Structure 1
Amino acid sequence: MKKQIPKFENEDQERDFWASHDSTVYVKWEKAKRKKFPNLKPSTRTISIRLPESMLEDLKILANKRDVPYQSLLKMFLAERIKQELG
């Protein structure tokens, strides 16, 4: 039998609790299932990436044909490939 998770008055109290307690005492992780939240706006992080100038120009041409910003098109291409690779 796992311990019952206490009731928290706010997120700060909950954050402090989990920072100092082992979740395996409270949660049966072997029964956990991965969950997706499609309506949440994903957090983004700015990165720097070096691309050959010709590749960047080709990307901009493709983006212009689709009437989307080239960075958005690059994100779409990456998302498609990641989905393909992960199966």
Structure 2
Amino acid sequence: MNRLKIIPEFKTEEEERAFWKVNDSADYVEWEKAQVVTMPNLKPSTKTISLRLPESLLDDERHRS
């Protein structure tokens, strides 16, 4: 059985992202013991984008609603 490494304390979310970008979570977490969780109050991030679609596709979607 491999000994798991200790996850360091992060000062910022940016620092944490940089850490996980170069480290394998399998060295820090026993994924065999992981459990599924739900986070009903978590709000997804949104970003406005522009898309060009054929008018016929837009019309089809409008009529479905």
CA-based RMSD of the aligned residues comes to 2.5
Higher relative contact order (CA 8 A, sep 6+): 2
Higher normalized helix content (fraction of residues): 1
Any idea what SS the aligned residue of 1:5 has? coil
Query: What is the identity percentage for the equivalent residue pairs of Structure 1 and Structure 2?
Result: 44
TM-score relative to the length of structure 2: 0.64
Alpha-carbon distance between aligned partners in 2 of 1:10 and 1:52, rounded to the nearest angstrom? 45
Match of 1:38 in 2: 40
Alignment-mate amino acid for residue 19 of structure 2 = F
- Structure 2, unmatched stretches of 5+, are none
TM-score relative to the length of structure 1: 0.50
Tell me the matched-pair count: 57
Q: Deviations over 1:6-64 (max 9, x none)?
A: 1111111111000011110001111111111101223457786x3774x853x4xxxxx
Alpha-carbon distance between aligned partners in 2 of 1:4 and 1:56, rounded to the nearest angstrom? 52
Alignment-mate amino acid for residue 26 of structure 1 = Y
